[in-house]
Every structure is written in C-alpha cells, then in structure tokens.
A and B are shown apart, each in its own frame.
Chain A
C-alpha cells in the first residue's frame, strides 16, 4: 500500500476478476441473503431475474477480497524494492452503491477502482482519507456494480 502522499486523484487499477459459480452464489446467499432468486434455480427462473443470480452483497464482498489481495501483492513488491509500506485503515462507509445488472452463474466480473479524491481529515491529525469509485464489468462489457467508498490511509512519516 502506498502512503497517502503518493496517491493521486485519477489513479486507476484493475484489481482482479472473479467467476461466480452457481454453488458459490447459493452458498453465500444461504448465509446472508436467502431470497429465492439467489438460492433456488427454479424459483429464480420464475422471477423477474429469469435465472439464478448473486446477492448484490456477494458481488460487493468479492471486490473487497480482490482489493485486499491486490494491496498485499503491491506491498510485497514495495518491500522487495526496500520501500516502506503504508498501513490501510478502516473505511468510513460507502455511497452510491448501484447493482446495475444481475450477476448470473458463470459470469466473470472484472473489478476496477479509481481514486476520486484525497483529503486530510479535519478531526484526526494522523491518517489521510482516500475516496475510490469501484466498478465491476461482466464478460459482455455490462457494468454490474458501481460504488464510492472512503477509507483511511497512513501518511508518510515526517522526517526529523
């Protein structure tokens, strides 16, 4: 993870891709979102979705996992170059989360995140705040998920 000072508005990265299987979709939904169109193929076929599709929270949680994995790879590469690695703080929240199209069994979603804004928190002397817009696009080029998130990022230690 880069330090706050090294993050630029407009920085954009493809963090990874994930294929949603029917078994994954149903296993997640049985735990967290057991609506018929997420757990049962036949009920889903009768619903307005037309086929089994992932819970929107599943599509979002996979972004988080891919982002954590991306940052881990980035941090390992930085350490290998002898560079100090910043800590990533907790997030404050998300907004404008849109599930634009269903994610069906077999769909492969490519996730990207772009830096929208960086700012110093008025109330905290420590970390900065980074705002990202993240998106997921399916194999047909359709946008399926989009959201904006804000999280703390460690600032570069002051020399002295």
Chain B
C-alpha cells in the first residue's frame, strides 16, 4: 500500500527533494534524442546563442523535475497521474555540472466531484541550483487516490 494519499497534502506544506548533479553527457544525450538544437548540443555553437553557452533543453528540465518528484514522493503515493500543467517558466539556463533540488509547495487541494476515490493537489515546483537561484518553475495539478474511499467525512 502506498504511504501517501490525497489527505496527506496540506496547503502551504513545503518539501525539498534532491540534490541531483546534472552532467554535460546527460544534457547532450537528452538533446540528441528530443531537442537537437545547437544550444543544447555543442558548447561552441551554444555560446553564439541567447543562452550564452551549453544548457539543458527546457523539456529536459521538466523531465528531471518529474523524476525527482517521482523519487521524492510520488512513487510512494497513490498517484493517478496529472491532467496537465498550468505553467512552466524557464527562468535561467540549467548548465552542466549544476546540482539541482526541487522545492515543492502545496498550493491547494480539493476533492474530485466526479470521482469520490480521487482528490486533486495543486503544486508549485521550483528547480533550484547550488546557490538557491530558481531555474524553472512549474505549476501543476496532480491526481491522488483518497485514503477513505467513498466514506463520508
């Protein structure tokens, strides 16, 4: 049985997951597969772009964030997936050799009207670098199973 259910997430709760070192090799490997633009593949070409040097694809940042929250709490929860993401902002480039952490803040929670076994939790996830600068923010709603399925409160 998973440990965490919808009831365990309280508005205002903050957790931090990581750190995780992001290597040059994985930045290039992700880009080669999903986002083969010079700014994500090659230092010399990247230095001529607005990013000013090699940086991870924004989609790679989202995927790293996903993996870190999966390991951080989702795999130990009654996760039922997510219907979408309100907003992702790529504020600063994610450079090779950066050690990242994810700060998760519960914004609000609500029961599902259609599915009594499910609740929704809206999160703000922030990717932080070594010096606590925010690189990426992601606001999203996750669906989680309820502990007391169908039992009236």
Contacts and interface: CB of A to CB of B under 8 A. Distances in A.
B88 to A, nearest CB: 5
Nearest to A146: B84
A46 to B, nearest CB: 12
Contacts of B34: 61-62, 64-65
A55 B37 contact: no
Given A61-B59, A91-B58, A127 B84 contact: no
> SS class of chain A's interface: helix, strand, loop or mixed?
mixed
Per DSSP, chain B at the interface is: mixed
Interface residues of A, number: 36
Given A48-B80, A64-B59, A99-B82, A94 B39 contact: no
Given A64-B35, A65-B35, A97-B84, A87 B49 contact: yes
Contacts of B36: 65, 68
Contacts of A106: none
A94 B39 CA distance: 19
Interface string A94-115: 1111111000000000000000
Contacts of A64: 34-35, 57, 59
A88 interface: yes
B58 A90 contact: yes
A68 B30 CA distance: 14
Nearest to A87: B49
Contact of B79 (A35, A65, A93, A94): A35
A90 B84 contact: no
A71 B50 CA distance: 18
A90 B59 contact: no
Interface of A: 31-35, 37, 47-49, 55-57, 60-62, 64-65, 68, 87-100, 126-127, 147, 152
Interface of B: 33-37, 39, 49-51, 55, 57-59, 62-64, 66-67, 70, 74-75, 79-90, 93
